[in-house]
Amino acid sequence: MKNNNKLSTNTDILHSYTDHNIGSKTTLTLLLLTSIALFVSGGCTVKQPSIVDAKSNADAATQVKPTEIKINSTEFNYNPARINVKEGQSVTFTLDNSQGLIEHNVVIKELGVHLAAKAGLVTSQNLVFKHPGEYDFKCTVPGHQESGMSGKLTVEPTDLSATPINPDDDDVHAGADKILDLPKGITHLPARKAAPALIRRKPEFVEVELDAIPVTALLTEKVGYNYWTFNGTVPGPMIRLRQGDTVELTLKNSPLSPVTHSIDSHGITGPGGGAKFTQTAVGDKSILRFKAIKPGAYVYHCATPVVPHHISNGMYGLMVVEPPRGWPKVDHEFYVMQGDLYLKGKADQPGIHDVSIQKMNAEEPDYVVFNGSVGALSNENALKAKVGETVRIFFGVGGPNITSSFHVIGEMFDKVYTGGNPSEFTSNVQTVMVPAGGSAIVDIKLDVPGTYILVDHSLSRLQKGAAGFLVVEGPDNPDVFQPVKFTKGKDSGH
């Protein structure tokens, strides 16, 4: 069966987040039992194009007895993927989302079929197909069709001499992958700063609010991207807590969002890291209360399928849980996260881009960047300090796919707290390996002025944007570093 591997993988992922087990209770209905969603305002809305009649009157009922189409939908797969009906046949489509955690839909665009049901609900529509032809059906939640949720409906003609309608002759797909021009006034994402160090030493009740907001911003100077964000930035805000805090986390999903969103924090002890109970529909909110049990720097991200799609679009951040005494004091703290992006079309084509699920599944990123975009840590947003000062970088990898070999050219990490574990650190480290969904806290004592480049030491990623700058000001330190002979000229390479 097509997509068997994809089905198994995605089913395992979804079950790990939700404890949701799809059983064998399927009746003669169109069961869409996935926990994936696209909010469709107004519930079940049916268009009335000329090529299909949606009838429930007695005349239609007497022509052909309504038949329920038997399709099961499991995670990112339709079974069967092909359906045959007869011209003039009355068919009942039923979208059963009674066991789903979030909204879902099924669409046959050419026929005007668009069924939507919120979590726990069922919706149906009777249709009489009057024109033969072959039509695609799919889930229109971003990324789900590309992940396997598609099929074909064939309307067989009763008059074999009739000429079937070919949907490919229609203009419905025209411009689907068109790259839009950059709108006037589009800017880069706002810079994201580290949260202030905590001065309290006792646990408290802490309220945290995250807003899922879509933002169109510059990825490069000429390439824009439709980001999905927490609080309008990539990464999302650095959440700073004290070990033992009781936290009330509120997730709001903007009415402008195209899909449901959620939160999985690697620092939360509970099903799905909170994802099971924070699947939040468009325009809605969820509230979760948890205890910050263990200190460390933990990645949080959206965990609504297709999970890597949401993460790649920018929905990740760090939740830092400090030990009771905190970490040793430093002069400056910075917040840096690496992510990989996959663009439809040519990656350098000017205009606004969306995600390419095919590239994402193949783990072939067009861009690997720090803090959401190329150059996000340069110019006025470069990290800045002075000779003699100490800096701390809270570094995480949102991913969704690429491991980082984090390195600062010209410096060594005096201390590395792998995963942000305050009880263990390694001294004098040149490069620290941080997996997707992982983190490290690194401390550096600055001895020599100059500009230091932050890189992923898989250095071909420099060409994909993985570079940032730490600008250190102050007097020269010839005891530590002193150029003895340095010739500037056409043959020097400088």
Reported as a single tens digit per residue, the pLDDT across 68-96 is 776 665 556 676 777 777 877 787 777 77
CATH superfamily, with its number, for domain 205-473: Cupredoxins -  blue copper proteins (2.60.40.420)
pLDDT higher than 80, residue 379? yes
The rounded mean pLDDT for the chain is: 81
Q: Same fold for the domain at 4-169 and the one at 205-473?
A: yes
Residue 30 pLDDT: 34
More confident residue, 34 or 433: 433
CA distance 393 to 478: 26
The confidence band for 97, taking pLDDT boundaries of 50, 70 and 90, is low
pLDDT higher than 50, residue 38? no
CA distance 442 to 297: 11
The confidence band for 347, taking pLDDT boundaries of 50, 70 and 90, is very high
Residue 298 pLDDT: 97
pLDDT higher than 50, residue 163? no
Token pair belonging to 298: 């933990």
Domain boundaries, the chain: 4-169, 205-473
Q: Which of 129-133, 229-233, 305-309, 471-475 has the lowest mean pLDDT?
A: 129-133
CATH superfamily, with its number, for domain 4-169: Cupredoxins -  blue copper proteins (2.60.40.420)
Q: Over the stretch 204-226, which tens digit does the pLDDT of each residue have?
A: 999 999 999 999 999 999 999 99
